[in-house]
Structure 1
């Protein structure tokens, strides 16, 4: 039996779903993304919605100085702009993303940069001041820990290269 073609987990907001905290989408216009979507390679998910958070919702950030993996380990929390603690919902969403990845054998994800869930290189400062810092969101950290290559929407060419490498492994074994 032939192995299924590789697929890509993608933040639903990048495909135009109005799931962000402010009730809007963050639609990404890209010929490559359109090509993947037309080929049926994309599995969209918003981890925050999957974790039970509503739309709209207060903006949330990982505590200052902390990373997504620390949230997962219980060493840090996620706080919202109203002083709430949606950490458990964020953790449930990350777990839902991991379950989807494992169920479908996904090895690549393209996630929304800057998000406390999906940020793969940069996240908010933790002070609700609009400043971004180097960091990894909760879902991105959990997926990477489980061997998923996580890219931001600014790294589609790198995601395409990773996808092509996966296809070459499936078709002919290890690349020469």
Structure 2
């Protein structure tokens, strides 16, 4: 049976930068009865919970304090991909607008709340690996399909 990758925060795990989660009932309903692989590339990178928020600026992961964390976060993405090696994956359902998991848009890197078209570094890596990537909003709107 193919498995579904899901951002762990959407499943209710407290791994969000603020220490909380983004539990999403539509996603939970969508994956019910299916085999799920929870992922959090930030935690895989060794980042603490809670942690300073980050955004992508000119393609690099930058904290709200101005610290370049690109290498750390990309190492977390690499660890996540390594953990998925050999798995049969149906799709990935990821956290919308996240600098790691955003599928259609991300925050613009100014920490002002402004969003731009783009994708997070995990979403991009999964797409490059041939995985169908959707976000929680696709599931909520019924665009995800089956």
Q: Which has the larger radius of gyration?
A: 1
Cα RMSD after superposing both structures:
1.5
> What's the TM-score, normalizing by structure 2?
0.91
> Which of 22, 44, 49 pairs up with 2:18?
22
Which of structure 1's runs of 4+ aligned residues deviate more than 4 A? none
Structure having the higher helix fraction is 1
> What's the TM-score, normalizing by structure 1?
0.76
Q: Which residue of 2 aligns with 1:43?
A: 37
The number of aligned residues is 144
- Deviation at 1:95? 1.1
> Which of 47, 59, 80 pairs up with 1:53?
47
User: Residues 1-176 of structure 1 correspond to what in structure 2 (within 5 A)?
Assistant: 5-30=1-26, 33-34=28-29, 36-37=31-32, 39-63=33-57, 66=58, 76-156=59-139, 157-161=142-146
Q: Unaligned regions of 5+ residues in structure 2, if any?
A: none
Q: Unaligned regions of 5+ residues in structure 1, if any?
A: 67-75, 162-176
Alignment partner of 1:92: what SS? helix
Q: Which residue of 2 aligns with 1:170?
A: none
